[in-house]
């Protein structure tokens, strides 16, 4: 019959193996995102006083959330986003306001997103642009 100390050692070894396997599986499953830039309808105090400016928001949709959770990944909430002000006269996003998830803050990304909105003022999917500027291990 095994002693308590021997059983505790076996349990510790089993837990270490389990954690090792969980880490291995987690490394195999990477987040897959889709990003959308869309017009934002001002609410409450979100008032735009300049007719040449439009508010947009960026939504990130995780395409494989279930798989990520199954292998122990932390899944960040995708609710909420900064609001971005696009100026039609300069044809550029000029600033971000509010709070929420920031999916990209790279100047190059915002230059390309400005070009996208100039061509598609209603907004749309911008996954390719956003992913181009994300770091490989960026969680959201």
Domain residue ranges in the chain: 1-29, 31-133
- Given a cut of 80, whether residue 39 has pLDDT beyond it is yes
CA distances from 4 to 9, 11, 12, 18 (A): 9, 10, 12, 21
Mean pLDDT (the chain) is 88
Q: What is the pLDDT of residue 140?
A: 60
> Residue 71 in contact with residue 94, Cβ under 8 Å?
no
Kindly report the pTM of this predicted structure. Answer: 0.77
Question: Distance (Å, rounded) from C-alpha 7 to C-alpha 20?
Answer: 20
Q: Please give the pLDDT value at position 40.
A: 92
The pLDDT value recorded for residue 79 is 67
Q: Which residue has the higher pLDDT, 37 or 1?
A: 37
């Amino acid at each position: 019959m095994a002693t308590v100390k021997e059983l505790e050692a076996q349990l510790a070894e089993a837990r270490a193996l389990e954690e090792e396997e969980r880490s291995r599986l987690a490394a195999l499953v990477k987040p897959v995102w889709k990003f959308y830039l869309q017009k934002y309808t001002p609410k409450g105090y979100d008032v735009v006083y300049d007719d040449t400016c439009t508010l947009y928001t960026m939504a990130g949709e995780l395409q494989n959330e279930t798989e990520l959770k199954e292998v122990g990944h932390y899944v960040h909430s995708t609710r909420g986003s900064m609001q971005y002000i696009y100026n039609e006269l300069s044809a550029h996003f000029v600033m971000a306001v509010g709070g929420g998830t920031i999916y990209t803050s790279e100047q190059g990304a915002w230059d390309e997103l400005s070009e996208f909105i100039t061509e598609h003022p209603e907004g749309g999917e911008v996954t390719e642009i956003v992913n181009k500027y994300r770091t490989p291990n960026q969680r959201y």
